[in-house]
Structure 1
Amino acid sequence: MAITASQVKELREMTGAGMMDAKKALTETNGDTDAAVDWLRTKGLAKAAKKAGRTAAEGLVAVAVEGNTGVAVEVNSETDFVGKNADFQKMVAGISAAALKVDGLEALMAADMGGKTVQDEITSKIATIGENMSVRRMSKLTGDTVVSYVHNAAADGMGKIGVLVAMTGGDEAFGRMVAMHIAAANPASLSEADLDPSVVEKERLVQIEIARESGKPEAVIEKMIVGRMKKFMAEVTLLGQAFVVNPDLTVAAAAKEAGAEITGYVRLEVGEGIEKVVEDFAAEVAKTAKG
């Protein structure tokens, strides 16, 4: 019998199985959804649904550069151990290669990866490795020159922190030093012009309150705020920061000496901003025992 798209969709939602696996299960069971669920379970392909609620805050960031385009992708798992798994690393490398050909996360999840979509590959790996996984985010960067760097590399092109730097002029060696600086210093933006206005305003209000605690007149406080905000901008913007390779220079000054102009950057760190659930040992054992 003909298998409809709605049947496949329903089975995927019930089991968390990949599209092709769900379609095959329905084909094998003549469209019987209940039997298809059992078929998937016997093949170990319905496990993914059980794992979906678990926090995935570990994993890897992979970077890839092709011509004047670079991409960074964060692929999460539940434990750091999986990040060292060769099959997981191979999948992450494949996802980063696929990301070079698309423009956003939604398109990436639908992109082809050796006959499967990225989404289906993730679902398949959840079933075989036994942990929840997700492609959390991707960032793309273009420029005359794009240089990549990975901090704490677990394998070629992937690790805990991935950085891309776009620039005109200069050379790859300088670009790599800037990328290493970004990994260490974690700037909030390229320059003052790119800094989120809400971040600036929040810091300004904090500094006003701190200055008022001194009891000084408002006119003096205003001058204090100007100086403190200037210092804040230097600390959080890439071009204003002291260059880690030579702290006597700002990154902007170092770039000028190198004959380069930094036009953009990307920095992704595994698990950044994810709230991790901490369980006591007894709770963890109990959950594991329940399967």
Structure 2
Amino acid sequence: MAITAALVKELRDTTGAGMMDAKKALTETDGDMEAAVDWLRTKGLAKAAKKSGRTAAEGLVAVKVDGTVGVAVEVNAETDFVAKNSEFQTMVAQIADAALSVKDVDALKAADLGGKTVEDTITAKIATIGENMGLRRMARLEGETVVSYTHNAAAEGMGKIGVLVALKGGDEAFGRQVAMHIAAVNPASLSEADLDPAIVEKERQVQIEIARESGKPEQVIEKMIVGRMKKFLSEVTLLGQDFVVNPDLTVGKAAEEAGAEILGFVRLEVGEGIEVEKEDFAAEVAKAAQG
């Protein structure tokens, strides 16, 4: 695979590595971006371990709670301008209301919204607003108490990030603090038991390679990995993270002190994981000139 300047730049932006290191990493991994990030980490050349999908799509996440049930929906549009449009916001709020009565996104698309399905309602709005839109995701959460929070709110109950937290015991004030923590820190799972084993194993292999680069004996490396994996798990699981409201406590310990059990959470961020292909304008001009 050709190692382009654009690939090198993307890897530099992701990891903070130098240009030559980024180029070498891509060369060593045949242009595989994810493998290149791991290669840089094993060599101690990546300044940041976290990598998230570029947020390219626009739109809104809306959250709604009714008793013991909470829902979050993501409706996308092409531009942020439409996300600020009152017609679009009204439609998103109506879709969130409809989500309370269904179990998944397919059922939501088929749900009734004033005589039309949700999907047909969105199609009609595309015609009037003149921009492509789509219902991308829906999440549902149930618990003794369900609390919602929106970050960068564009209107009541909707914004760029929507969070739901389900609790047993505790109160809404504590639940809101936890929801704000989740919005800011973005944990990968509630606890180690809920974490994708593939994520754990991948991190373990990266840490083993980093430790081996130090040249230490295998028995020393094994002890190093135990400590490093413990630290990793505390950083990516909600219950193990330092609570943003009180960093002296983990979220799990803070829940204990609040008399609450955190049953689960949902965090949706507009456009996360969606990549929009970027046109290389200079290349397009050069190609046109040659033609």
| Paired AA for residue 83 in structure 1 | A
Q: CA deviation at 1:174?
A: 0.3
Which whole-Å CA distance do the structure 1 matches of 2:187 and 2:206 have between them? 20
Contact 1:56 1:78 in 2 (8 A): no
Contact 1:64 1:148 in 2 (8 A): yes
Contact 1:78 1:131 in 2 (8 A): yes
- Residue of structure 2 equivalent to 1:100: 100
Which whole-Å CA distance do the structure 2 matches of 1:185 and 1:159 have between them? 17
| Paired AA for residue 58 in structure 2 | E
Alpha-carbon RMSD: 1.7
- Residue of structure 1 equivalent to 2:262: 262
- Residue of structure 1 equivalent to 2:166: 166
Which whole-Å CA distance do the structure 1 matches of 2:127 and 2:134 have between them? 13
- Residue of structure 2 equivalent to 1:134: 134
| Paired AA for residue 173 in structure 1 | A
- Residue of structure 2 equivalent to 1:180: 180
Q: How does 1:244-259 map to 2 (within 5 A)?
A: 244-259=244-259
Contact 2:56 2:275 in 1 (8 A): no
| Paired AA for residue 232 in structure 2 | F
Which whole-Å CA distance do the structure 1 matches of 2:235 and 2:81 have between them? 35
Q: How does 1:75-86 map to 2 (within 5 A)?
A: 75-86=75-86
Contact 2:62 2:158 in 1 (8 A): yes
| Paired AA for residue 63 in structure 1 | V
Whether 2:238 is the aligned partner of 1:238: answer yes
Which whole-Å CA distance do the structure 1 matches of 2:113 and 2:168 have between them? 33
Q: CA deviation at 1:278?
A: 2.7
Whether 2:273 is the aligned partner of 1:273: answer yes
Unaligned runs of 5+ in 1: 1-54, 284-291
Q: CA deviation at 1:279?
A: 3.9
Q: CA deviation at 1:235?
A: 0.2
1:173 to 1:281, Cα distance in 2 relative to 1, 3 A: farther
Three-state SS of the structure 2 residue aligned to 1:245 is: coil
1:177 to 1:123, Cα distance in 2 relative to 1, 3 A: same
Instruction: Report the TM-score when normalising by structure 2.
Output: 0.77
| Paired AA for residue 213 in structure 1 | E
- Residue of structure 1 equivalent to 2:155: 155
Q: CA deviation at 1:89?
A: 0.1
Which whole-Å CA distance do the structure 2 matches of 1:142 and 1:97 have between them? 15
- Residue of structure 1 equivalent to 2:48: none
| Paired AA for residue 209 in structure 1 | E
Q: CA deviation at 1:248?
A: 0.5
Q: CA deviation at 1:137?
A: 0.4
- Residue of structure 2 equivalent to 1:120: 120
Unaligned runs of 5+ in 2: 1-54, 284-291
| Paired AA for residue 158 in structure 2 | M
Q: CA deviation at 1:57?
A: 1.2
Which whole-Å CA distance do the structure 2 matches of 1:83 and 1:66 have between them? 24
Which whole-Å CA distance do the structure 2 matches of 1:224 and 1:276 have between them? 40
Instruction: Report the TM-score when normalising by structure 1.
Output: 0.77
Q: CA deviation at 1:276?
A: 1.8
Structure 1, residues 211-270: CA drift from partner, whole Å, max 9, x if none? 000000000000000000000000000000000000010000000110100000000000
**Higher RCO structure, 1 or 2 (CA under 8 Å, sep 6+):** 2
Which whole-Å CA distance do the structure 1 matches of 2:212 and 2:282 have between them? 49
- Residue of structure 2 equivalent to 1:72: 72
- Residue of structure 2 equivalent to 1:46: none
Which whole-Å CA distance do the structure 2 matches of 1:230 and 1:210 have between them? 16
Contact 1:151 1:162 in 2 (8 A): yes
Q: CA deviation at 1:56?
A: 7.9
Three-state SS of the structure 1 residue aligned to 2:240 is: coil
Which whole-Å CA distance do the structure 2 matches of 1:103 and 1:179 have between them? 22
Q: CA deviation at 1:280?
A: 6.4
